[in-house]
Amino acid sequence: MDWNELGLKMGLEIHQQLNTTSKLFCLCATEFVDEKFDDEIKRNLRPTQSELGQIDRAALQESLRKMRFNYEAHDYHTCLVETDDEPPHNLNKEALDLSMTIATLLNMEMVDEFHTMRKQVIDGSNTGGFQRTGLVATDGYLETPHGKVTIENLCLEEDASKRIVLDSKISKNKSIDDSKEDITDDTNVNINNYTHFRLDRLGIPLVEITTDPSIHHPEQVKEVAHAIGQVLRSTNVKRGLGTIRQDLNVSITKGARCEIKGVQNLDLMPKIVEREVQRQLKLIEIKEELEKRDAKVLDEIHHLNPIFENSSSKIISAAETVKGVVLKGFAGLIGEKVQKGRRFGTEIASYAIKRGVSGIFHTDELPAYGITSEEVEAMKKYLNTGSNDAIIIVAHDEDITISALEEVIKRAKMAFEGVIEETRKSLDDGNTEYMRPLPTSSRMYLETDIPLFKIEKKSIDKIKNNLPELPDVKKERMIKEYNLSEDLANQLVRRLKADDFEVIISKISSYTDSSINSSIDSTTVASVLAYDLKEIKREGHDLTNVTNHKLINIFKLLADSKISKDAISKLIIEISKDTDSNPEIIAKNKNLLVLDESSVQTIIEEIVNKNSSMVEERKMGAMGPLMGMVMKELKGKADGKIVNKILKEEIETLI
């Protein structure tokens, strides 16, 4: 595709949790909890008018679902601020400073005053029906291989509650995958039309970083996301699943801006953009074809029960009622593919599903699903439709069926506009699916319970003078300064072990009183931090007790040749089990101290002599099998280089 010719424009929104000690407007802790909740509250939410008397269309659409909300609270992580039963406390200065640090790294201009606003959200994710947010900085930029991209705004705001699913098969509730939580709006509905949330995440400080629509190539959006991610990782932000969420805004000429929420995989971004462009192009084609056909959507909803009275379709036979609408001139277009595996009918169905049905039937795909050709012909005859007309059917309870078909009529009429401004959710295959209309400015209004916060020049100067080192810069420095491989340096930076590495290296260097001992070099320390600790944790060991101080003592034992490299992982595992553990005492008690060279020599001589026939037959080819036997016997109590040297000498004496 020629992206310039298509007029492709994209913007990126990144939402990143900050790793502060308390929430944005109270002193509650910011950790997540899985244990049983202490309290439970229930709420109904409804849209309110803006200061200009307008109601946000996204909030209005959400209110039509008539959902009720249940919130689980834990005492240590929730107070009356989260339940919206008392005014917010003072703004978290730590969070503001951290957001200003990120803004400075993005070359942004700080605002003079931080004003807290309310952003109306009534999907249940906020107990009060709004999210608190405030503008911190504007007008920044990032350089990418495809050109400069403007960072439009950086806002500091509260994160939302976490949706959960009630599971009757287990004793406690399960959290929805945090990476998708923000975009899962139907799967978490439980009995009595309740949606369930947990309040531990509500109020955690979050930065929202927004670019302008100056991204014009699918690969560039990935570059921008990576660059912003590099900046974020250099600061004190939370890490792990669900702590960062990315949204894309995509439009083309003759199309419309669509916000795609929940894009987690950076490598998938170009594909998502390409699929969205394909969808918009197809919707434009459908619009033009409808105009040629002089198509029309009829508002009447028809009762079709008599036609399907004896239907073998399981869905229809189980439904209270079957109803349908006629779309004049739509035949063949509802079945048009808009994305791989998705058709225009899927677009229409996404609207109907919001009213409680599982899907729709349409004549472009019938007969099928137990509906016979005779039933289709009888329906067409009853509704007096022509060969160019389409019929959409819904089967469910009376009220739900009517409500769903009203959405079908609404979405079908939108087809005459081509592409509609929507909020959509990303799917794992690169496609997107309708969520709700795009919100408008009507959802923003001033928070009157929080005074403005002046941002002083001395605060900005202090932040500028204490900026962290960016990950790519740190990686290159570590390669040069410590002679690490690129992969090892990258792993240290990615796993946030680079600072620990430098502390340990500094202590070990001063301990050896000159250059690092030949038995312990920077690569050894880096490998333990980057790989060994990860593997030990993966095996299920809790590394809370394995502090930098204890790691330093382990490396001192290695520097003094008291343990071998092979014993390090075993020693770390033993230390992890004991809060008051002393590495040298544990090494002695667990028989991990190295043997002296004469003892190693004796063990190797015995093994070689027992296998002399193998040596005579294979010569130096016996080195591998014998090394395995020796290492098994030594159990990490000798340095590998020394073992290799002695074993080689013993073999050579026999050949």
Q: Rounded to the nearest 10 degrees, how much is the dihedral formed by the CA atoms of 478, 479, 482, 484? A: 120
Instruction: Name the DSSP letter for residue 186.
Output: S
Residues 577 and 604 grouped into a single domain: no
d(CA 207, CA 157): 6
Statement: residue 517 has pLDDT above 60? no
Please give the Cα distance from 401 to 320 (Å, whole number): 9
Both tokens of residue 349? Answer: 């169905």
Classify 413 as helix, strand or coil: helix
Pair 50, 181 in one domain: yes
Same-domain pairing of 245 and 115 = yes
**Pairwise CA distance, residues 246 & 425, whole Å:** 11
HSE (CB half, 13 Å, CA atoms) of 477? 10
Angle (CA) 357 421 135, round 5°: 115
* pLDDT the model gives residue 38: 82
Domain contains 589 = no
CA–CA separation, 447 vs 120, rounded Å? Answer: 11
232: in domain = yes
Cβ atoms of 186 and 163 within 8 Å: the answer is no
For residues 478 and 485, what is the distance between their CA atoms, to the nearest angstrom?
9
Residue range 191-204: average pLDDT? 83
pLDDT computed for residue 458 by the predictor: 96
Residue 345 clears pLDDT 80, i.e. is over it: yes
Band of the pLDDT at 512, cuts 50, 70, 90? Answer: low
521 and 634 fall within a common domain: no
Peptide bond into 439 cis (omega under 30): no
Which pLDDT value is given to residue 264?
A: 86
Burial 223-252 (b: 16+ CB within 10 A, else e): bbbebbbbbbbbbebbeeebbbbbbbbbbb
Domain-located, residue 56:
yes
* 623 and 651 Cβ atoms separated by less than 8 Å: yes
Place of tokens 């294979």: 618
At how many degrees (to 10) do helices 471-482 and 218-233 cross? Answer: 70
pLDDT at 153 over 90: yes
Longest dimension (CA), the chain: 101
| 445 within domain boundaries | no
CA–CA distance, 25 with 326 (Å, rounded to integer): 53
Pick from 257, 274, 300: which residue ends a domain? 257
Model confidence at 270: pLDDT above 90: yes
- Residue 451 counted as domain residue: no
- Give the β-pairing of 422-426 and 258-261: parallel
pLDDT of residue 175: 46
Per-residue pLDDT at 414:
98
Decide if 332 is inside a domain: yes
Contacts of 399 (CB under 8 A, 6+ apart): none
Residues 176, 92 share a domain: yes
Residue 294 maps to a domain: yes
The pLDDT of residue 113 is above 80: yes
The answer to whether residues 124 and 41 touch, using CB atoms and an 8 Å cutoff, is no
- Does 626 fall in a domain? yes
- This prediction has a pTM of 0.79
Q: Tally the domains of the chain.
A: 4
**What residues contact 98, with CB distance under 8 A and at least 6 apart?**
18, 20, 205, 207, 235, 236, 237
Residue range of the domain that includes 505: 471-581
What is the mean predicted confidence (pLDDT) over 534-544? 93
Q: What CATH number should be reported for the domain holding residue 616? A: 1.10.10
What pLDDT shows up at residue 59? 67
Residue closest to 73 by CA, chosen among 40, 24, 31? 40
Confidence check: pLDDT of 453 > 50: yes
Mean pLDDT, all residues of the chain? 90
Residue 341: CB partners within 8 Å, gap ≥ 6? 429, 431
Angle made by CA atoms 620, 624, 630, in degrees to the nearest 5:
110
In this structure, the answer to whether residues 514 and 400 fall within a common structural domain is: no
Alpha-carbon gap, residue 245 to 264, rounded angstroms: 7
CATH number, domain with residue 300: 3.30.1360.30
Among 257, 291, 317, the domain boundary falls at: 257
Q: Are 351 and 186 in contact (CB under 8 A)?
A: no
Mind giving me the DSSP string for 52-83? Answer: TS---HHHHHHHTT--EEEEEE-TTT--TTTT
Residue 296 three-state SS: strand
